[in-house]
Structure 1
Amino acid sequence: MRRLRRKIKQDAELDITSFMNLMIVLVPVLLLSLVFSQVRILNLQLPVNSEPQENTELNDAPKVLELIVNAEGFVINYPSGVLLTELNKQHGEYPYLQLSKYLQDLKLTFQQQGIEKSDILLLLAEDTEYQTIVSTMDTVRSFKAVVAANLVDAELFPNISLGDAPE
């Protein structure tokens, strides 16, 4: 007769060293990738009242710098309703570089006259594209300047308010 040999089953040991090595590499990589996926938020201000109130004199009314964005280009007013300049589209594109240069000169003029101005009111036409709004906000907020052989963002008008353009 044949003897049946039964092997005694032993519990197999679980070898997790390769899994631990994978986790040691994977966790830092995932943590480092989280830094690059930040959400950007653009802070906006409520528009200031450009109409003089009944109890204030005309000289005490806040002077508002307005930038009207319409289908033809940019219109800059200061104080509210008084035309400074118009920058028309060139080849179907908004003149962001010209706008930046003009606002840099305007900021310098304000500083020379002792006017502390850091707010601007963007008045947007109804059919203005989203990318145009964001690019305009980036242009009026700051510009690239060279300081001590380094390229930095110099401040123009960081306090931005939005509104509807007049018809």
Structure 2
Amino acid sequence: MRRLRRPQKKDAELDITSFMNLMIVLVPVLLLSMVFSHISVLDIQLPEGGADNPDQKDPPKILELILRKDGMALNYPAGVPLKRIANKEEGYDFDGLSLYLQDLKRAFQQKGIEKRDIVILMEPDTDYQTLVTTMDTVRSFRAVVVASPVDAELFPEISLGDAPALPAQAGGKG
């Protein structure tokens, strides 16, 4: 009698070459796309109310920056004009504002005043990009320390508010 031999089963080999090629391309693409989804958050505070505290002998002096269509005005303390920065032909003079705030910060430090807060007051129709650029300008400036650029601090504690109404023109109705 003859015996039937069954053919031996061979283990199938997996060909994962194409899968490895896909992973080699996909992993760097995913890692690179993570950089573009970074979100920045900037903390701001609401301006403190005008409630006067009778126990407080010397109320804190507030540095104000008022944004208007025709330019910017710095007040220190609040309501006392310090500097008016007119617009340039292309728009607000953020470079001039930054230079003046750097000088002001230096003057505060020389007098021993530790000032880190500023209140930005703007008109209701102020453009969003103008507000963001203003906040970036008053928060810090680019400086070179030991041959490398760094962001030096100006007034990082930012509060927002509405600009006061302009005084009525004199000589209106008579």
Q: Which amino acid aligns with 2:64?
A: E
Of 71, 89, 98 in structure 2, the residue corresponding to residue 100 of structure 1 is 98
What is the CA distance between 1:85 and its match in structure 2? 1.0
**TM-score (norm. length: structure 2):** 0.81
Percent identity over paired residues: 61
Tell me which residue corresponds to 1:153: 151
SS at match of 2:149: strand
Alignment check: 8 A CA contact 1:50 1:63 kept: no
What is the CA distance between 1:86 and its match in structure 2? 0.7
Alignment check: 8 A CA contact 2:46 2:161 kept: no
Tell me which residue corresponds to 1:127: 125
**TM-score (norm. length: structure 1):** 0.85
Structure 1: give runs of 5+ residues left out of the alignment. 1-11
Tell me which residue corresponds to 2:56: 56
Q: Which amino acid aligns with 2:121?
A: L
What is the CA distance between 1:90 and its match in structure 2? 1.5
* Residues 50, 151 of structure 1: alpha-carbon distance in 2 compared, 3 angstrom cutoff: farther
Dislocated runs of 4+, deviation >6 Å:
none
What is the CA distance between 1:105 and its match in structure 2? 0.6
Once the two structures are overlaid, the 10-residue window that deviates more, 27-36 or 38-47, is 27-36
Let me know the Cα RMSD of the aligned residues. Answer: 1.8
Deviations 1:33-83 (A, max 9, x none): 2023201111112323455323323xx211110000011110100111111
Tell me which residue corresponds to 2:45: 45
Once the two structures are overlaid, the 10-residue window that deviates more, 32-41 or 82-91, is 32-41
CA distance in structure 2 between the aligned counterparts of 1:85 and 1:51, rounded to whole angstroms: 27
Tell me which residue corresponds to 2:6: none
CA distance in structure 2 between the aligned counterparts of 1:33 and 1:130, rounded to whole angstroms: 27
* Residues 53, 25 of structure 1: alpha-carbon distance in 2 compared, 3 angstrom cutoff: same
Are 1:162 and 2:160 an aligned pair?
yes
Q: Which amino acid aligns with 1:86?
A: R
